[in-house]
Amino acid sequence: MKKRKIISVVGTRPNFIKVAPICRALATFGDRIDSLLCHTGQHSDATMSEVFFQELGMPIPDFFLGINNGTHAEITGRIMIEFEKILVTEKPDLVLVVGDVNSTMACALAAVKLGIKVAHVEAGLRSGDRSMPEEINRLVTDAIADYLFVTEKSGMENLQKEGVPETKIFFTGNVMIDTLVYLDQKIAASDVLARLGLEPGRYILVTFHRPSNVDDGESLASLVRFLNNTAIELPVVFPIHPRTRKNLKEFGLMGDLVPSVILLEPLGYLDFQALTRYSKVVVTDSGGIQEETTFLGVQCLTVRENTERPVTIEVGTNQLCGTDLPVVARKVGEILSGKEKQGTIPEMWDGNAALRIVKILVDLT
Give the nearer residue to ligand UD1 in terms of CB position, either 100 or 178: 100
Q: Could you tell me the strand order of the sheet in which 117-123 lies?
A: 63-64, 33-39, 4-10, 94-98, 117-123, 147-150, 169-171
CB of 100 to ligand UDP, least distance (A): 7
- Contact yes or no for 270/283 (Cβ under 8 A): no
- DSSP letter string, 289-318: HHHHHHHHT--EEE-SS--S-THHHHTSSE
CB of 45 to ligand UDP, least distance (A): 11
**CA-based nearest residue to 98, from 47, 59, 150, 133:** 150
Distance, CA of 11 to CA of 64 (rounded, Å)? 10
CB of 15 to ligand UD1, least distance (A): 8
In the shown chain, the binding pattern of residues 179 to 208 toward ligand UDP, with x for contact by CB under 6 A and - for none, equals ----------------------------x-
Start-to-end CA span in the chain (Å): 12
Tell me if residue 251 falls in helix, strand or coil: coil
Distance, CA of 196 to CA of 192 (rounded, Å)? 6
- Contact yes or no for 56/26 (Cβ under 8 A): no
Residues 173, 239, 343, 346: which binds ligand UDP (CB under 6 A)? 239
From the list ligand UD1, ligand UDP, none, partner contacted by residue 153 (C-beta under 5 to 8 A by kind)? none
Which residues lie near ligand UD1 (CB under 6 A)? 12-14, 42-45, 48, 69, 100-102, 133-134, 209, 241-243, 246, 287
The number of angstroms, rounded, from the C-alpha of 336 to the middle of its chain's C-alpha atoms is 27
From the list ligand UDP, ligand UD1, none, partner contacted by residue 17 (C-beta under 5 to 8 A by kind)? ligand UDP
CB of 258 to ligand UDP, least distance (A): 20
From the list ligand UD1, ligand UDP, none, partner contacted by residue 63 (C-beta under 5 to 8 A by kind)? none
From the list ligand UDP, ligand UD1, none, partner contacted by residue 54 (C-beta under 5 to 8 A by kind)? none
- Residues 6 or more apart in contact with residue 225 via CB below 8 angstroms: 325
Residues annotated as catalytic are 209
Candidate segments 9-17, 74-82, 213-221, 305-313, binder of ligand UDP by CB under 6 A: 9-17
Distance, CA of 300 to CA of 205 (rounded, Å)? 10
CB of 167 to ligand UD1, least distance (A): 29
From the list ligand UD1, ligand UDP, none, partner contacted by residue 29 (C-beta under 5 to 8 A by kind)? none
CB of 312 to ligand UD1, least distance (A): 16
- Binding flag, residue 97, ligand UDP (CB under 6 A): no
Candidate segments 288-296, 304-312, 336-344, 347-355, binder of ligand UDP by CB under 6 A: 288-296
In Å, what is the CA distance from 237 to each residue of 32, 192, 196, 282? 46, 11, 9, 10
Q: For binding to ligand UDP (CB under 6 A), which residues are involved?
A: 13-14, 17, 207, 209, 239, 266-267, 269, 272-273, 286-289, 292
